[in-house]
Structures are given as C-alpha cells and as structure tokens.
Amino acid sequence: MIHRKKSSEIEHIAASCEIVFAVQQKLEALIAPGVSTLELDQVAETEIRVLGAVPAFKGYHGFPYSICASVNAAIVHGFPDKTPLQEGDIVSIDVGACFDGYYGDGAFTVAVGAISAQAQHLINGTLDCLARGIDQARPGGRLSDISHAIQRHAESQGLAVVREYG
C-alpha cells in the first residue's frame, strides 16, 4: 500500500535530500586520480554529520560505510576501498542521509579525468535513459511504463539493462 505523504513530511524529505545534494557536490569536487573511494566515504560521513544528519547506509544490515562507491564494471552498491581512482575510471557514488527521521538518497556518476568514447557513451546513454524514465513517471502511471521507456532507449543506443542483481 502506498502512503501519501503530508506536506510537512515532504518538506522533511526535501531537507534530507538537500543534505544529500550538498554532500554529493563536495564529493564530486574531490574526485580525481589518486583519491580513494574510502577517502570519499570519510568526507561524506563528516559532511553528513556536520549538516545535522546521520549516514543512512552505515549500519543498515551491517553495511559499514556511509556511501556506496562503484568503479568501472561494478554495477551498483560497491564498497569504498583504499584503491586510488585512476584517469579514465568511471565512478558512481550513492549518498544517503537521515535528517529528523526522514531519508534522502541520491547517486551520481562521473568520469575521473579523460575517459574513452565508449565510457562517455555509457554515461550519456544512462542519463538519457533516466530522463526517459522520469518522463513516464506520472500519477496513475505504471512502473512498467518507466521500465519499458528506459529499456527501449538503452537498447536503441546499443546499451543493456541489468536483468538481475543481488
């Protein structure tokens, strides 16, 4: 059952999302060759706490980090580690924060320095898929409409959608 949120609840969620966005901006500015995702995790935890929230992922089912960090072929929800990022990597960072009992969560993907044309095609295609999915999100709509729009566009670009995870 879907619980419709009250305006006050939406405002609290928005505040959590603003914290997530601020942390994402800080992390994106730090991403460069030589920086590890573990360093990014430490910055994220500090920033989330400075902004009055707590890391949403840390401790969830024993997850030990404040962010998820997926580099190159890692699909999603990777663990931060000490491996330095390298020129040409693609890194996706997922940030979650809980503020006053409400959660915000968001992910972004960036290139580390110059990347291959193939990697840029993947990033651009993924952003286009996201936009097509968002275009299908509407009251009374179906999740399958969103999924179909994403998959159709991905395949038209020579990309694929992950069929199973976990």
Residue 22 lies in domain = 1-114
Q: How far apart are CA 130 and CA 151, in angstroms?
A: 10
Q: How far apart are CA 98 and CA 59, in angstroms?
A: 12
Helix H or strand E segment including 127: helix 117-136
77 and 149 together in one domain: no
For 4-53, write each residue's pLDDT tens digit.
899 999 999 999 999 999 999 999 999 999 999 999 999 999 999 999 99
Helix H or strand E segment including 166: none
For 89-98, write each residue's pLDDT tens digit.
999 999 999 9
CATH code assigned at 3: 3.90.230.10
Amino acid at the residue 79: F
127 and 52 together in one domain: no
The reported pTM is 0.91
Mean of per-residue pLDDT scores for the chain: 95
How many C-beta neighbours within 10 Å does residue 19 have?
22
131 and 93 together in one domain: no
